[in-house]
Structure 1
Amino acid sequence: MKLQQLLSYTRRAVDEYQMIGEGDRIAVGISGGKDSLTLLYALHGLKRFYPKHFEIEAITVNLGFPGFDLSAIRALCDELGVRYTVVDTEIGKIIFEDRRESNPCSLCAKMRKGSFNQAAKELGCNKVAYAHHKDDVVETMLLSLIFEGRFHSFSPRTYLDRMDLTVIRPMMFVDEADVIGFKNKYALPVAKSPCPADGHTKREYAKNLLRQLNREHPGCKERMFTAIISGNLEGWPERIPHVR
């Protein structure tokens, strides 16, 4: 996937779900993975021509695992002219050594988001951008159906009243396969997660299930995604389709 195509998908999401307003300051969560680095490129590129002026800040919450090298990401942010903030924490130690959590992902996500949101507020941001793509939207729906018994997925835009922050997901129309292609084409400096639970989660189960379903029934992922965005899900903002 070329940058122009990424920007087209991103603008579609931003326009259809009114994600960005004039004067917004948006914190981009950088985990070090391909998704968050692609999002950084997407918002940096969109910023150059989008009619509503906005600023971006890049933030990484460092969980404290040894061997997590962020130097290449810092160099990329310098190249793009984006301020980069690393929030050092001991979340990894708390979860895996102090508490020895048997299901660590939920607590880790909660603590990581808390640190990220706090840093965003301190940097003067009013919005935070997550790098969830189309596959994440569908996988979340599958997890909700299987484990919660409801048809649900995360919203493209969500207001967090306790933090006075708005969460946006500008890559929701981008396929994961295209993110992988973008990473390879632009040689993104991915920093591999040293988390011991990486790749052994319910999310990974849903990813493999979706891959199998789409292989056995070609196009079913796209049909599921269409069902989600046209399903009038609770908490989703009004969609304004076909805005260009």
Structure 2
Amino acid sequence: MNTPITPPSEEAARPPHALWATPGKKLQRIVARTLIEFSMIQPNDRILIGLSGGKDSLSLIHALRHVQRRAPIPFELAAITIDPMTPGFDPSPLRGYLADLGLPYFVEREDIVGLATEHMRGDSYCAFCARMKRGLLYKAARREGYNVLALAQHLDDLAESFLMSAFHGGKLNTMKAHYRNDAGDLRIIRPFVRVRERALIDFARTNGLPVIKDNCPACFAKPTQREHFKQLLAAEERLNPQLFRSLESTLAPLMREGFDTCLTAPPETPSP
């Protein structure tokens, strides 16, 4: 079930600066470098931030607001939450928090678990849920006139995706830093692709961000492939503290739109 998105008032769109958290200098530098490197923000962009309520997406709101206040070009920010209507998910704290910040905020509700039970065929729940959420984000962005969707995946996420793709998909691939959707009418950006997860944990904790814990029943039921590779990377990093510096270099070309590598055997050369 969808509920209409209610636009915020003009008064709510004026943020009280005292409530915004300022990222540390290192986080500022990494985000600024990434935005420039991948040409993520253009003049007069209207950017809709996907807000799950986790530490990453809450941190992204503050990081992009910091950029917005200092950027030489104008652009707009808003946030959106997809409410999957699971019993443990309550976005009401986010409503109050975003209202206090004065950031335009929208909520899109859909019974994703119910739809998965009814329609999912030969797919994982996580994959089905991701597709549903992506479709709802695109739909809302178009309806409300936003041309850019900002997502909060970080370097650890990209490393896990890379291993999942190589080990299970036969491709050297990961999430893209900046790309267009298939329809070509929306751009998707990930400003945290060079940021470590631990930096976002520290930022959220230091600034008391109202993090909503994971509540997905499917994720609680059994460990996911992603969790397996997270643990694998953590074990390797204990042996090699420079692991993620190497992975960042490895993943850099794969972050770019259109760069994918398949691990397939070369065609056989016919015998003379």
- Structure showing greater Rg: 2
Shift of 1:232: 8.3
Q: TM-score, with normalisation over the residues of structure 1?
A: 0.90
Equivalent position of 2:17 in the other structure: none
Task: Identify which of 18, 31, 36 aligns with 1:10.
Answer: 31
Q: 1:235 to 1:124 in 2, by over 3 A?
A: same
Q: TM-score, with normalisation over the residues of structure 2?
A: 0.81
Structure 2 gaps of 5+ residues are: 1-20, 260-272
Matched, 1:215 2:238: yes
Equivalent position of 2:154 in the other structure: 133
Q: 1:90 to 1:163 in 2, by over 3 A?
A: farther
Question: Alpha carbon RMSD of aligned pairs, Å?
Answer: 2.0
1:144-163 alignment, distance < 5 Å: 144-162=165-183
Do 2:22 and 2:62's aligned partners in 1 also have CA atoms closer than 8 Å? no
1:121-174 deviation digits (Å, cap 9, x = unpaired): 111100101101111111111111111122211211011141510000011121
Do 1:64 and 1:93's aligned partners in 2 also have CA atoms closer than 8 Å? no
User: Which letter does structure 1 place at the counterpart of 2:55?
Assistant: K
Shift of 1:100: 6.8
Matched, 1:196 2:217: yes
1:191-231 deviation digits (Å, cap 9, x = unpaired): 12321122621111111111111112221122011111156
Do 2:161 and 2:174's aligned partners in 1 also have CA atoms closer than 8 Å? yes
3-state SS of 1:26 partner: strand
Q: 1:195 to 1:42 in 2, by over 3 A?
A: same
Task: Identify which of 107, 123, 129 aligns with 1:108.
Answer: 129
3-state SS of 1:86 partner: strand
Matched, 1:117 2:131: no
Equivalent position of 1:170 in the other structure: 191
Equivalent position of 1:241 in the other structure: none
Q: 1:67 to 1:10 in 2, by over 3 A?
A: same
Task: Identify which of 94, 98, 117 aligns with 1:73.
Answer: 94
Shift of 1:99: 4.5
Shift of 1:2: 6.3
Equivalent position of 1:36 in the other structure: 57
Report which stretch shifted further, 32-41 or 101-110.
101-110
1:53-68 alignment, distance < 5 Å: 53-68=74-89
1:58-89 deviation digits (Å, cap 9, x = unpaired): 00010010131222212221222211101011
Report which stretch shifted further, 109-118 or 200-209.
200-209
Q: 1:178 to 1:2 in 2, by over 3 A?
A: farther
Task: Identify which of 223, 227, 234 aligns with 2:250.
Answer: 227
Equivalent position of 2:68 in the other structure: 47
Output the CA distance in 2 between the equivalents of 1:110 and 1:234.
19
Do 1:137 and 1:225's aligned partners in 2 also have CA atoms closer than 8 Å? no
Identity of aligned residues (%): 35
User: Which letter does structure 1 place at the counterpart of 2:43?
Assistant: E
Output the CA distance in 2 between the equivalents of 1:231 and 1:123.
31
Output the CA distance in 2 between the equivalents of 1:44 and 1:123.
20
1:83-106 deviation digits (Å, cap 9, x = unpaired): 1101011112222x4347772011
Paired residues, number: 235
User: Which letter does structure 1 place at the counterpart of 2:171?
Assistant: R
3-state SS of 1:193 partner: coil
Do 1:44 and 1:80's aligned partners in 2 also have CA atoms closer than 8 Å? no
3-state SS of 2:172 partner: coil
Output the CA distance in 1 between the equivalents of 2:97 and 2:29.
22
1:7-36 deviation digits (Å, cap 9, x = unpaired): 322111101110000000011000111111
Do 1:159 and 1:167's aligned partners in 2 also have CA atoms closer than 8 Å? yes
User: Which letter does structure 2 place at the counterpart of 1:98?
Assistant: E
